[in-house]
Amino acid sequence: MSELWMMIGKRLLYGLLTLFIVSVIIFGASEMLPGDQAQALLGQSATPETLAALREQLGLNDPAPVRYWNWLAGAMSGDFGISTSNQRPIADLISGRLYNTMFLALYAATLAVPLSLVLGLLAALWRNSIFDRVANASALTSISFPEFFVAYILIVWLAQGGHFTSLARIRENTTFVQRLDMTFLPALTLTLVVTAHMMRMTRAAIINLMASPYIEMARLKGLSPLRVVLRHALPNALAPIITVVALNLAYLITGVVAVEVVFTYPGLGQLMVNSVADRDMPVVQAISLIFASAYVLLNLLADVLSTLSNPRLRHRR
């Protein structure tokens, strides 16, 4: 157990180091953008006095290391500063949007994870059958299409007939059932995109174990193929499956930008696109840091769960 806690501590330190490096990249990339942020906010008709006052207000006159440290210290305490486009605290702007993005990601994960695991198990159980070939062809097709293309196809097929809404008009008084209905098409889009990866990894992990000696012994005992897969192959294939599921869950949180824009869904992705258009760099930096944190935490969770599911990883000797 002590080795496990040491492993978790090391992964946590690596994650914090990764986040620090990512924060430097985020801040440095925003600093290298062409143009003057104050000039972009005030327009070409702004006077030099007004520009100088705004630069002083935004702290643009301070050296870059000082501004980076102030931004990082505020972000660590939950204070991301003030939005330059509407003068509201960024934490207030993000809070509601973060809930909407998490809801969409969990909705898609609820659909995608069981579906991909079942399809992967059936494809491995009926290897080289018509079902296996159709499932693999469908998976490759869904992987090949970008998210926005899948979203527009679903809008044409499902929204034009009046079955589902193509615009996710989520408000504070929207009920849970209404939210499920409005976000079905965005969730279905993300499900079709990530199911293929998880299904193919599940299939590959199960097939790799089917030639193992203990699987052959289970077959010789007269066990049914389904029981062999569920009782003997699946528990030993959990480590790669957990890893790919965690990576796709990270994608569901961080890769929703295109989907939210297509369906005008009020999440972090839509807010990030609007902030880029308004050159509201503090909001862009805050959202980028949140996405990076979610990705690192889910990778850490994948490492821990993979280690717990495989005794050989827990006892390396």
Report the candidate in 210, 242, 221, 214 with the shortest Cα–Cα distance to residue 310: 242
Predicted local confidence at residue 258, as pLDDT? 86
Stretch among 81-90, 107-116, 177-186 having the lowest mean pLDDT:
81-90
What does the pLDDT look like over 161-184, one tens digit per residue? Answer: 667 888 877 887 888 888 988 899
- Average pLDDT of the segment spanning 277-298: 88
Structure tokens at 66: 């000082």
Q: Reply yes or no on whether the pLDDT at 1 is more than 60.
A: no
Give the homologous superfamily in CATH for domain 98-314: MetI-like (1.10.3720.10)
CA distance 310 to 289: 32
Report the candidate in 254, 261, 209, 216 with the shortest Cα–Cα distance to residue 235: 209
Domain boundaries, the chain: 2-59, 98-314
Structure tokens at 281: 């760099």
Q: Are the C-beta atoms of residues 201 and 120 closer than 8 Å to each other?
A: yes
- Phi, psi dihedrals of residue 58, rounded to the nearest 5°: -80, -5
CA distance 2 to 193: 39
